A and B are shown apart, each in its own frame.
Chain A
């Protein structure tokens, strides 16, 4: 398991390096530059600015500087926000995005497993049919629709109760986090429900379930000790990539609910071609996601001995 973890981490580092390089190349092949403002800049000022940001150097030189700074954990200064360090932007806003995202993943995983198990138990009966209908909605409706609907229902609830019990937007308390993270996790929850259902139905027909019955175990024991654990495995394998999907979806939900997450800065930076912010946040997000996927794989190893012991 230790060797396995180490190998995964090493691969993770390579992946992050790859992401950083790809981002760098992409940034430098996009037409236009951050200094090309609506206001005309004289050649002299332009030269000074380019010097300040190191844009006067050759591509390979810039790449080396970028990489060595990054290794020291320094992503540079924003082009558009006066003298604000990219590190500060990440430090101030990433925890918000991460909390939102992880909470969403948590809801999605728990919800997916519970709903999926329920649909399998009630196969082809009313609860199954209702849940599977909702699942199709969850998969096909984009998250900004749910975000708007979620916000709307919060408004209605507050109106009904006569006071703002649950905040409609903003950030700070658990009340702020609940609905946005549910909304954000909804698509993934639907996907996991469907996966869990088919996985449960597959496991039910496995020979070892027959063995468990022939051993004289109670249906409840068979369900929890033999069926559930094995059915969760395929769900865990897609959880890693789903975390990526949730985090990307987070930008939209952050906008709708006015959540001060990193997403907003990222979108802004792209619009304004703020090189350092784009590269900094991309690499940071990339590293975070790679790390999360590895974490999920390690958790998987604990559930599945075939992975852990090889």
Chain B
């Protein structure tokens, strides 16, 4: 096993709202190894952003609260730090880019100044040097006429250009990890491809790891080395990209795949949406989070939370489902994703 640069164990995050406590993240564990891309995939609201933002210490607190867990970056704890302590790794060892580049940059500051700011704060560079370096960084992210562009404001950039600028900014201090929270969701399809291309290229040249958050399995297939599938605040399945796509184990992953368009989608193989909706995170189920929508649900699933089960002894492919529990009877047809939804209990 290669070294992990980030290890997250049993992270739990809650939000105190007027309606009660939202249990947004419920015991999430994963690790990121040097140079790899970990994709975190799951439908909207399942806690992907909250997971990574609590690692960065940028969820609003209150109402947010990290109620449990440990996260270690290169062996050092990063949860529950003061902002001064956290700023030793934020922007330095971990860079972050967000979903909507249009609103993620300060509208009243030039792009160059915003990138330079990171360098001035963390590297103690002078204004002039930092700005020159900012131009180089913009150049590196393939923004043409970088020197001119650096003097412009965000409103003078297109969405794709802004995301490039965000990437340039996040790379300023050569981080070992880039967290990209749905970096292409707000962009046109063609621009999406360019940004993903840029990210994989920079990953190679800069030799960094990436946590790529997405709800798009096509993006996962293209970018990821390993995948964590999230559902209702928990990771329900994790493994290499091949394991997740070709040996999908968890019924939710199967559902996601059945709902994903592919080249093979023909008249006889229709897209199958997952019926129902995710559970209420104010009162998350005590048993399996996917119970209400699961076509394979058993009686024991409702009350008992399945543990994370290793699927084979030699791989690191895990699934949080009673079907994969060592005590469960052998279920052969499990690896055939074509199971339909008709057998699902009524989710409503």
The judgment on whether A and B are partners is: yes
CB atoms of A206 and B90 under 8 A apart: no
A305 surroundings in chain B (CB, below 8 A): 107-108, 110, 153, 155
CB atoms of B103 and A207 under 8 A apart: yes
CB atoms of B58 and A210 under 8 A apart: yes
B100 beta carbon closer than 8 Å to chain A:
yes
A218 surroundings in chain B (CB, below 8 A): 83-84, 87, 121
CB contact under 8 A between A216 and B92, given known A210-B58, A211-B98, A306-B155: yes
A230 beta carbon closer than 8 Å to chain B:
yes
The tally of residues in B whose CB lies under 8 Å from a CB in A reads 36
Quick one: CB contact mask for B145-163 with A, threshold 8 Å, 1 for yes? 0000000010110000000
* Interface of chain A residues 262 through 310 with chain B (CB within 8 A): 303-306, 309
B108 surroundings in chain A (CB, below 8 A): 229-230, 233, 303-305
Using CB atoms, name the residue of chain A closest to B106: A208
A207 surroundings in chain B (CB, below 8 A): 98, 100, 103-104
Partner among A205, A216, A229, A303 whose Cβ is within 8 Å of the Cβ of B90: A216
Quick one: CB contact mask for A181-209 with B, threshold 8 Å, 1 for yes? 00000000000000000000000011110
CB atoms of A211 and B89 under 8 A apart: no
B53 surroundings in chain A (CB, below 8 A): 210
CB atoms of B118 and A216 under 8 A apart: yes
Shortest CB–CB separation between residue A4 and chain B, in angstroms? 16
CB atoms of A216 and B98 under 8 A apart: no
Shortest CB–CB separation between residue B254 and chain A, in angstroms? 34
A213 beta carbon closer than 8 Å to chain B:
yes
A72 beta carbon closer than 8 Å to chain B:
no
CB atoms of B90 and A213 under 8 A apart: yes
CB atoms of A309 and B56 under 8 A apart: no
B155 surroundings in chain A (CB, below 8 A): 305-306
Question: A229–B108 Cα gap in the complex (Å)?
Answer: 8
Quick one: CB contact mask for B120-131 with A, threshold 8 Å, 1 for yes? 011000000000
Using CB atoms, name the residue of chain B closest to A230: B108
B153 surroundings in chain A (CB, below 8 A): 305-306, 309
CB atoms of B107 and A230 under 8 A apart: yes
Question: A75–B58 Cα gap in the complex (Å)?
Answer: 63
B98 surroundings in chain A (CB, below 8 A): 207, 210-211
A3 beta carbon closer than 8 Å to chain B:
no
A211 surroundings in chain B (CB, below 8 A): 96, 98, 104-106, 166, 169
- Chain A's interface size range is 20 to 34
B169 surroundings in chain A (CB, below 8 A): 211, 215
Shortest CB–CB separation between residue A16 and chain B, in angstroms? 32
Using CB atoms, name the residue of chain B closest to A232: B108
B86 beta carbon closer than 8 Å to chain A:
yes
CB contact under 8 A between A214 and B106, given known A221-B121, A305-B155: no
A230 surroundings in chain B (CB, below 8 A): 106-108
Find the residue from A205, A229, A303 having the highest chain B CB count within 10 A. A229
CB atoms of A217 and B106 under 8 A apart: no
Using CB atoms, name the residue of chain A closest to B86: A216
CB atoms of B106 and A212 under 8 A apart: yes
B338 beta carbon closer than 8 Å to chain A:
no
Partner among A205, A233, A309 whose Cβ is within 8 Å of the Cβ of B156: A309
Question: A229–B110 Cα gap in the complex (Å)?
Answer: 13
B87 surroundings in chain A (CB, below 8 A): 216-218
A225 beta carbon closer than 8 Å to chain B:
yes
Question: A60–B159 Cα gap in the complex (Å)?
Answer: 58
A32 beta carbon closer than 8 Å to chain B:
no
A162 beta carbon closer than 8 Å to chain B:
no
B156 surroundings in chain A (CB, below 8 A): 309
A31 beta carbon closer than 8 Å to chain B:
no
CB atoms of B58 and A226 under 8 A apart: no
Question: A219–B87 Cα gap in the complex (Å)?
Answer: 10
Question: A218–B120 Cα gap in the complex (Å)?
Answer: 12
B91 beta carbon closer than 8 Å to chain A:
yes
Using CB atoms, name the residue of chain A closest to B87: A216
Q: Tell me the A residues contacting B by CB distance below 8 Å.
A: 205-208, 210-219, 221, 225-226, 229-230, 233, 303-306, 309
Instruction: Name 15 interchain pairs, CB-CB below 8 A, sorted by A.
Output: A210-B53, A211-B96, A212-B106, A214-B170, A215-B169, A216-B86, A217-B121, A225-B109, A226-B106, A226-B109, A229-B108, A230-B107, A305-B155, A309-B153, A309-B156
In addition to A207-B100, A211-B104, 17 A-B residue pairs with Cβ atoms within 8 Å of each other are A210-B58, A211-B166, A212-B106, A215-B117, A216-B88, A216-B89, A216-B90, A216-B91, A217-B87, A217-B117, A217-B118, A218-B87, A225-B117, A230-B108, A305-B153, A306-B155, A309-B153
